[in-house]
């Protein structure tokens, strides 16, 4: 071969070429991206629709079967499967590998949009998304108080206001999701006996709380010299303020003569409790309740570089992370 003859005739040049290849290989190896999954397109579309309060049998007959019949006409489907839970319908559409995933998702959206007016009004809007292996979390942070002095609500507040913001600022991080968190919430515990005694319905209480706890823009007042923005700033600042909300007025003798009647306040028919919200998700670390921060990286980013940046952010936050 000509390359062999040239190398034998010019050994110095051959050595230099080989060294150049070695240096170029080492240089490229240091910048080689590392990822858990290759960058491939799996043409799989997931359709999720919520039907609050419906049993799995009703969800299957009213939602799942209709969605399956609609999307079954899309060309290129390899497998069509579904799952019906209490209040939720999930339909998974797998296409052949030669089908473009984006086009398949658009075709599915068009078919679901055609049957949406035929479903009951209680069924929520469909959520249609493509399955992407790269969207799986690459990093999880478990937050727990080893001495037991911090409650789940305290840990959730620190996680959302401090640590989550630090992790989101790391280069290459796409999103940070909180699992097992417990936020602060003002709970209203209705007393049925008091409602019956005053002749008040729950809908009246809901309407009164909504109207008394809101911020609304009211437009602007303009003149030749200035312009002023007007808005209603009626959002309640303290939990005690909820107690004095007027939910109804009871007719009295003066009311019959044209008065407004005696006001009935919220504390007379309900108990206002400042506490944690209802638990919607639970995260456990070695059987102990914890608050979990799940991190997803941006598409095309180097997984190793993102993880190193996350560990540095944890060190800057003043915590000693334990690598698993």
Q: Are residues 285 and 146 in the same domain?
A: yes
User: Are 246 and 265 contacting, i.e. CB atoms less than 8 angstroms apart?
Assistant: yes
Total domain count, the chain: 3
Q: Which residues, in sequence order, are CB contacts of 255 under 8 Å at separation 6+?
A: 249, 261, 262
Q: Which of 118, 133, 148 is the last residue of a domain?
A: 133
User: Are 298 and 174 contacting, i.e. CB atoms less than 8 angstroms apart?
Assistant: yes
Question: What's the chain's average pLDDT?
Answer: 82
Q: What is the pLDDT of residues 41-58, one digit of tens each?
A: 788 999 999 998 889 999
pLDDT value of residue 38: 65
* pLDDT band of 36, cuts 50, 70, 90: low
Whether residue 225 lies inside any domain: the answer is: yes
pLDDT value of residue 33: 67
Whether residue 321 lies inside any domain: the answer is: no
Whether residue 127 lies inside any domain: the answer is: yes
Q: What is the pLDDT of residues 208-266, one digit of tens each?
A: 888 777 777 777 888 878 888 877 777 777 777 788 888 887 765 554 444 567 888 88
pLDDT value of residue 323: 47
Structural domain containing residue 242 = 189-270
Angle, nearest 10°, between helix axes 11-30 and 2-9? 110
Q: Residue range 26-30: average pLDDT? A: 82
Six-digit token pair at 242? Answer: 């909820």
3-state secondary structure the chain: CHHHHHHHHCHHHHHHHHHHHHHHHHHHHHCCCCCCCCCCCCCEEEEEEECCCCCHHHHHHHHHHHHHHHHCCCCCEEEEEEEEECCEEEEEEEECCCCCHHHHHHHHHHHHHHHHHHCCCCCCCCEEEECCHHHCCCEEEEECCCCCCCCHHHHHHHHHHHHHHHHHCCCCEEEEEEECCCCEEEEEEECHHHHHHHCCCHHHHHHHHHHHCCEEEEEEEECCCCEEEEEEECCCCCCHHHHCCEEEEECCHHHHCCCCCEEEEHHHCEEEEEEECCCCCCEEECCEEEEEEEEEECCCCCHHHHHHHHHHHHHHCCCCCCCC
Whether residue 12 lies inside any domain: the answer is: no
Q: In percent, how much of the chain has pLDDT > 70?
A: 91
Q: Which residues, in sequence order, are CB contacts of 19 under 8 Å at separation 6+?
A: none
Q: In percent, how much of the chain has pLDDT > 90?
A: 19
pLDDT value of residue 88: 92
Six-digit token pair at 35? Answer: 């990822």
pLDDT value of residue 94: 92
Q: Of the ranges 20-24, 287-291, 306-310, which one carries the lowest mean pLDDT score?
A: 287-291
Q: What is the pLDDT of residues 142-156, one digit of tens each?
A: 888 777 677 778 888
More confident residue, 320 or 94: 94
More confident residue, 36 or 152: 152
pLDDT score of 306 more than 70: yes
Whether residue 1 lies inside any domain: the answer is: no
More confident residue, 26 or 218: 26
Whether residue 122 lies inside any domain: the answer is: yes
Residue 314: left (phi > 0), alpha (psi -120 to 50), or beta?
A: alpha
More confident residue, 172 or 234: 172
Whether residue 4 lies inside any domain: the answer is: no
pLDDT value of residue 252: 59
Q: Residue range 294-301: average pLDDT? A: 84
User: Are 73 and 111 contacting, i.e. CB atoms less than 8 angstroms apart?
Assistant: yes
Q: Are residues 67 and 140 in the same domain?
A: no
User: Are 283 and 204 contacting, i.e. CB atoms less than 8 angstroms apart?
Assistant: no
Whether residue 55 lies inside any domain: the answer is: yes
Question: Whole-prediction pTM value?
Answer: 0.58
* pLDDT band of 324, cuts 50, 70, 90: very low
pLDDT score of 318 more than 70: no
């Amino acid at each position: 071969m000509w390359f062999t003859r040239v190398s034998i005739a010019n050994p110095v040049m051959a050595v230099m070429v080989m060294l150049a290849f070695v240096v170029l290989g080492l240089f490229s190896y240091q910048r080689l991206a590392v990822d858990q999954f290759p960058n491939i397109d799996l043409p799989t579309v997931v359709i999720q629709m919520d039907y609050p309060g419906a049993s799995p049998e009703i969800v299957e007959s009213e939602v799942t079967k209709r969605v399956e019949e609609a999307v079954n006409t899309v060309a290129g489907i390899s497998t069509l499967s579904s799952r019906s839970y209490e209040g939720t319908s999930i339909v998974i559409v797998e296409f052949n590998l030669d089908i473009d995933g984006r086009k398949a998702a658009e075709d599915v959206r068009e078919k679901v949009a055609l049957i949406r007016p035929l479903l009951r009004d209680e069924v929520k809007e469909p959520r249609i998304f493509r399955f992407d292996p790269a969207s799986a979390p690459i990093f999880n942070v478990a937050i727990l108080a080893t001495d037991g002095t911090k409650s789940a609500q305290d840990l959730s507040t620190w996680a959302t206001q401090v640590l989550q913001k630090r992790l989101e600022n790391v280069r290459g991080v796409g999103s940070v999701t909180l699992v097992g968190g417990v936020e602060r919430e003002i709970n209203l515990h209705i007393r049925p006996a008091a409602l019956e005694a005053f002749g008040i319905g729950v809908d009246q209480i809901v309407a009164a709380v909504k109207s008394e706890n809101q911020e609304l823009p009211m437009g602007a007042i303009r003149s030749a010299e200035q312009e002023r923005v007007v808005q209603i700033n009626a959002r309640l600042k303290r939990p005690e303020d909820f107690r004095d909300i007027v939910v109804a007025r009871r007719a009295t003798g003066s009311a019959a003569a044209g008065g407004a009647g005696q006001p009935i306040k919220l504390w007379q028919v309900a108990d206002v409790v400042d506490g944690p919200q209802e638990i919607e998700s639970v995260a456990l670390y070695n059987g102990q309740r914890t608050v979990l921060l799940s991190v997803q990286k941006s598409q095309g980013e180097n997984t190793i570089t993102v993880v190193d940046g996350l560990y540095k952010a944890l060190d800057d936050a003043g915590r000693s992370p334990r690598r698993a």
